[in-house]
């Protein structure tokens, strides 16, 4: 059937408008739900760096988060920041870590320094809510194929790493993608963060190869690597080292404040509901 050109054009336009309109409508209807899902995931990730999150109901998770986490924003100099460059109030959970990182890298290429907005999540101790059990920082970097990111939790006295959570966009399944395995992340627990004598941050080294045991004070900065995934782990190592650098000013200041404090809450696993841990 040969149709006129104008019919074809009009038909195509109508199809485009209808399909575009339908998608826009559905997106509008569901976008709050999707945003809530993303926020829930962020909360779970932050808390997972310190403890096992066994709750699965988003409302419970939100309650848990509000109870345990106090968040604020700092800049590279370690100062508290309440407004961004445009004067808008900053919310730690809403800071786009990727954007901040990219802005910093772009500025660096031009030889400039830029003030980063860095979120800090304080995990309050169960027993004594005035005590901080852990500080959690988001991290972002480049793996082998695409981005890697996550959260690093350090102890309230800044001396050791309490735990990490990593995720990625496109690392190789079975190789680089193993950075999401709890078993790999567990290798960071107890590693050194702040060397209180020398007043400097440890430079964590994810050692090439796998199956090596690194125990004792001499090996406090060494982490067992992933066999076959050294490119990804190099990216992770650099990411951690970059962010240790960003948060250094903050850590130095805060550690002096709480330096004499020997009071620490006993680390405990928050356990709500059934024993299903949320990834």
Contacts of 230 (CB under 8 A, 6+ apart): 208
In three-state secondary structure terms, 149 is strand
Tokens of 52: 């096992």
Which residues are near other proteins by CB under 8 A?
A: 1, 3, 7-8, 11-12, 15-16, 19, 22-23, 26-27, 30, 33-34, 37-38, 40-41, 169, 173-174, 279
Classify residue 158 as left (phi > 0), alpha (psi -120 to 50) or beta.
Answer: left
Q: With respect to other proteins, which residue has the nearer C-beta, 34 or 186?
A: 34
CB of 160 to other proteins, least distance (A): 26
Q: Are 212 and 159 in contact (CB under 8 A)?
A: no
CB of 2 to other proteins, least distance (A): 8
CB of 151 to other proteins, least distance (A): 16
In three-state secondary structure terms, 246 is helix
Q: With respect to other proteins, which residue has the nearer C-beta, 57 or 83?
A: 57
Q: How far apart are CA 138 and CA 117, in angstroms?
A: 11
Q: With respect to other proteins, which residue has the nearer C-beta, 154 or 165?
A: 165
* Cross-strand partners of 80: 74
CB of 230 to other proteins, least distance (A): 17
Q: With respect to other proteins, which residue has the nearer C-beta, 162 or 178?
A: 178
Q: With respect to other proteins, which residue has the nearer C-beta, 8 or 96?
A: 8
Contacts of 147 (CB under 8 A, 6+ apart): 98, 140, 141, 168, 169
Q: With respect to other proteins, which residue has the nearer C-beta, 12 or 196?
A: 12
CB of 67 to other proteins, least distance (A): 23
Cα distance from N-terminal residue to C-terminal residue, the chain: 56
Q: Are 104 and 114 in contact (CB under 8 A)?
A: yes
CB of 200 to other proteins, least distance (A): 37
Q: How far apart are CA 9 and CA 1, in angstroms?
A: 16
Q: How far apart are CA 86 and CA 249, in angstroms?
A: 24
Identify the burial level of 155 via C-beta atoms within 10 angstroms of its C-beta, where 0-12 means exposed, 13-18 middle and 19 or more buried.
Answer: buried
Q: With respect to other proteins, which residue has the nearer C-beta, 83 or 146?
A: 146
Identify the burial level of 122 via C-beta atoms within 10 angstroms of its C-beta, where 0-12 means exposed, 13-18 middle and 19 or more buried.
Answer: middle
CB of 104 to other proteins, least distance (A): 26
């Amino acid at each position: 059937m040969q149709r006129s050109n104008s019919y074809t054009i009009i038909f195509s336009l109508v199809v485009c408008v209808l399909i575009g309109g339908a998608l826009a409508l559905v997106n509008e209807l569901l976008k709050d739900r999707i945003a809530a899902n993303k926020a829930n995931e962020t909360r779970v990730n932050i808390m997972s760096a310190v403890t096992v999150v066994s709750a699965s109901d988003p409302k419970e998770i939100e309650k848990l988060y509000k109870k345990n986490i106090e968040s604020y924003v700092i800049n590279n100099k370690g100062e508290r920041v309440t407004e961004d460059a445009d004067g808008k109030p900053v919310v730690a959970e809403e800071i786009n870590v990727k954007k901040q990182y990219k802005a910093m890298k772009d500025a660096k290429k031009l030889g400039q320094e830029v003030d980063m907005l860095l979120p800090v999540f304080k995990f309050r101790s169960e027993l004594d809510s005035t005590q901080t059990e852990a500080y959690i920082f988001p991290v972002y970097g480049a793996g082998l194929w695409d981005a890697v990111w996550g959260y690093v939790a350090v102890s309230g006295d800044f001396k050791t790493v309490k735990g990490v959570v990593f995720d990625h966009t496109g690392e190789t399944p079975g190789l680089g993608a193993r950075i999401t395995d709890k078993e790999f992340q567990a290798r960071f627990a107890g590693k050194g963060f702040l060397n209180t004598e020398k007043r400097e941050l440890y430079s964590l080294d994810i050692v090439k190869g796998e199956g090596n045991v690194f125990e004792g004070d001499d090996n406090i900065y060494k982490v067992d690597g992933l066999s076959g995934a050294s490119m990804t782990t190099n990216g992770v190592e650099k990411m951690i080292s970059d962010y240790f650098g960003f948060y250094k000013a903050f850590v130095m200041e805060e550690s002096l404040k709480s330096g004499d404090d020997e009071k620490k809450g006993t680390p405990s696993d928050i356990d709500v509901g059934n024993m299903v841990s949320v990834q």
